[in-house]
Amino acid sequence: MEVLQKFGRMPAGLTIPAIAILLVVVGIPTIQLFLTSLNAPSFSLVNYQAFFEQRADVVILFRTVTMSVVVTAICVIIGYPTAYLIVAAPQRLRITLVVLVLIPWLTSGLVRTYAWTVILGDHGLINNLLIYLGVISSPLTLVYNRLGVYIGMVHIMLPMMILPLLSAMQGIDKSLMAAARSMGARPFAAFWRVFFPLSLPGVRSGALLVFVGCLGFYITPQALGGLSDAMLSGFIADQFQSTFDLAPIATSAYILLAIAMVVLSVFGFNLSDVQGRPAQISHRARLSQFSSLGQGSRYINEIVTHYRAKRWASHLYQVAHGGTWSKLVGVVFMLSVLVYLLCPGLIVIIMSFSGAAFLEFPPSSLSLRWYQSFLGDPSWTGALWTSVQLGIATTIASTIVGTLAAYGLSRTSSRLRSFLIMVILTPITIPVIVVGVAAYLGLVNLGLLGSKTGIVLAHSIGAIASVVVIVSATLANFDRTLEQAAQSMRAGPLRTFTRVTLPLIRPGIIGGAVFAFMHSFDEVVVTSLVSAFAVTTLPLKLLENIKQQIDPTIAAVGSLLTLMPLLWLVALYFVWRRSRLNASHMLTEPAT
């Protein structure tokens, strides 16, 4: 008890509300699930045996892992050059490109998945175009098979790969590449020997995020895949609808969780630390010296030595040519990636203005009829209203709790801090379907299943994690001596916080709040499990309609869901810019 009191007085005590919510909603239920999967109190591995004896289950498990690995690999292959090109671009262009990559990440995954069905379908955009051009005579099967799933999942996951890569690559000191070139390394050698090894922490973080994301995200494979493309997460969600027996569900969830945990612990848990610290790098470098890979590359290196020596002598002080081709290839590659990322959203927006009675692209006439039908249908507006209410409630709760936690964490010793951050970020680092199952059980415990309060709690655990990430980033740049200065002027801790700290970290808090709202407004996996058909949010209603493939009202809703985050982004931009302008204004203002 005494320990607990002491903890409460420490700065880390500010994380108590966040951790309490986390424990009640998913923490304790996760333990319950584990016990259920082990058939407690009799404790046996019957459920696991049953799972692995079912051939179909094992096939699904194997498929889940393979598909996640393939998607991760494709994301690395596409994402790495994309991030590299963005980092290499001049500053203005770079910011634009980052925003363009961010936009799809912020807009509803559900809507973009829906857009792919329109683009890839038998009478979809691509088939129509190819038939029109006479390339093919009958439509290609692009969707409801593995290809469609990969196209859709990579599309969803790619920004999550690119963002950590960007962060890692931007941290690489440019003079290192200059140094390598000055020592005679040709551009490729400089890249391969210096840039690439230093960017590996970004590859690691991105690949982990994508892999774990793939394990838990079932909407896209379900919408774009056939029966033989079902993944374990979808299987869990289906079991949920059909049975009340928790044991097999808990078992599947734990198997999924175990895969995620094994992968995370092999490749490193700490997803928040994208910029690999020097110490870590050195550790890794040491390891790679002993690894067979290091040996192999050194062996190859020695073989090319002779060739290098010859080339060095013959090329010394020779003028270099070209570079135009590689530039052209870069531009084409970047444009293709942007088209791939942005097209689905754009198509939904354009299609929503169609005047026809069925979905078509390009629209033959323009009208607002589907917006009217959306606004005139109480079931849609009701869902919208519900989503807005849930979003606002989640935002308020998670912003307060998350900011307190981030503030507490910023003045906690680093070891305790990294542990607590790991705990708080668990909801966004483990497969989302597992979070959903656990939250279901947690809300059953609380008697809140199918209630709005319950959904707000379930949404909050993810939203708190986003708030903590964003506010912590702001606090990391916050000058602690300002607080000491305030305290030296006899401001108490509370006064210091409200008068000095809070105004300075406000942009971070607003950013966190916006992300919390977007998280809640878009959430569909957890919501579908904990709503128990009693509460219908906009994404749930959308999901239901996509499954039934009916009227183009979906396009209008999708277009709204796509445009709204953009509005948020613009609003955020202005908040941040104003605060930065203020700051620079204060600095340039002469002291009077």
Footprint of another protein on 305-344 (CB under 8 A) = 305-313, 315-320
Provide the greatest CA pair distance for the chain: 81
For the bound state, the minimum distance from the C-beta of residue 192 to another protein, rounded and expressed in Å, comes to 12
Part of the chain binding another protein (CB under 8 A), chosen from 26-34, 61-69, 181-189, 244-252? 181-189
For the bound state, the minimum distance from the C-beta of residue 321 to another protein, rounded and expressed in Å, comes to 9
For the bound state, the minimum distance from the C-beta of residue 73 to another protein, rounded and expressed in Å, comes to 24
Part of the chain binding another protein (CB under 8 A), chosen from 151-159, 299-307, 360-368, 491-499? 299-307
Q: Using CB under 8 A as the criterion, what x/- string covers residues 403-442 for binding another protein?
A: ----------------------------------------
Interaction of residue 227 with another protein, rule CB under 8 A? no
Nearer to another protein, 84 or 374 (CB): 84
Smallest CA-to-CA distance from 536 within 389, 436, 374, 352 is with: 389
For the bound state, the minimum distance from the C-beta of residue 181 to another protein, rounded and expressed in Å, comes to 4
Part of the chain binding another protein (CB under 8 A), chosen from 124-132, 142-150, 161-169, 170-178? 170-178
Interaction of residue 168 with another protein, rule CB under 8 A? no
Tell me the residue type at 230: A
Smallest CA-to-CA distance from 567 within 70, 5, 113, 103 is with: 103
Nearer to another protein, 8 or 294 (CB): 294
Q: Own/partner pairs for 233-240, CB < 8 Å, 24+ apart? A: 233/64, 233/431, 233/432, 233/433, 235/57, 235/60, 236/433, 236/437, 237/433, 237/436, 237/525, 237/528, 237/529, 240/437, 240/440, 240/529
Name 354's bridge partners: 366
Nearer to another protein, 185 or 422 (CB): 185
Nearer to another protein, 316 or 591 (CB): 316
Cα distances (angstroms) measured from residue 67 to each of 82, 203, 239: 22, 19, 21
Q: Using CB under 8 A as the criterion, what x/- string covers residues 113-132 for binding another protein?
A: --------------------
Part of the chain binding another protein (CB under 8 A), chosen from 87-95, 184-192, 346-354, 424-432? 184-192
Interaction of residue 76 with another protein, rule CB under 8 A? no
Tell me the residue type at 583: A
Which backbone phi and psi does 366 adopt, to 5 degrees? -110, 140
Interaction of residue 382 with another protein, rule CB under 8 A? no
Nearer to another protein, 311 or 495 (CB): 311
Interaction of residue 185 with another protein, rule CB under 8 A? yes
Task: Report d(CA 394, CA 459) in Å as an integer.
Answer: 7
Nearer to another protein, 297 or 413 (CB): 297
Q: What is the 3-state secondary structure (H, E, C) of 251-263?
A: HHHHHHHHHHHHH
Give the number of residues in contact with another protein, rule: CB under 8 A. 42
Nearer to another protein, 20 or 309 (CB): 309
Which residues touch 346 (CB under 8 Å, ≥6 apart)?
none
- DSSP label of 544: H
Per-residue b or e along 506-518, where b marks 16 or more CB atoms closer than 10 Å to that residue's CB:
ebbbbbbbbbbbb
Q: List the end-to-end C-alpha distance of the chain, in Å, as a whole number.
A: 54
Q: Using CB under 8 A as the criterion, what x/- string covers residues 249-278 for binding another protein?
A: -----------------------------x
Interaction of residue 171 with another protein, rule CB under 8 A? no
Among the listed residues 7, 49, 184, 339, the single contact to another protein using CB under 8 A: 184
Part of the chain binding another protein (CB under 8 A), chosen from 22-30, 297-305, 437-445, 496-504? 297-305
Nearer to another protein, 242 or 292 (CB): 292
Contact (Cβ atoms closer than 8 angstroms) between residue 467 and residue 398: yes
Smallest CA-to-CA distance from 48 within 257, 303, 311, 279 is with: 257
Among the listed residues 176, 293, 476, 583, the single contact to another protein using CB under 8 A: 176
Interaction of residue 182 with another protein, rule CB under 8 A? yes
Nearer to another protein, 171 or 355 (CB): 171
Smallest CA-to-CA distance from 464 within 31, 32, 24 is with: 24
Task: Report d(CA 233, CA 218) in Å as an integer.
Answer: 5
Nearer to another protein, 288 or 426 (CB): 288
Query: Given 3-state DSSP classes, what are the helix, strand and coil percentages for the chain, each rounded to the nearest 5?
Result: 80, 0, 20
Contact (Cβ atoms closer than 8 angstroms) between residue 488 and residue 454: no
Among the listed residues 24, 69, 100, 189, the single contact to another protein using CB under 8 A: 189
- DSSP label of 444: H
Contact (Cβ atoms closer than 8 angstroms) between residue 496 and residue 487: yes
Interaction of residue 303 with another protein, rule CB under 8 A? no
Task: Report d(CA 126, CA 139) in Å as an integer.
Answer: 9
Nearer to another protein, 199 or 496 (CB): 199
Residues that bind another protein (CB under 8 A): 173, 175-176, 178-187, 189-190, 193-194, 197-198, 278-279, 281-282, 284-285, 301-302, 305-313, 315-320
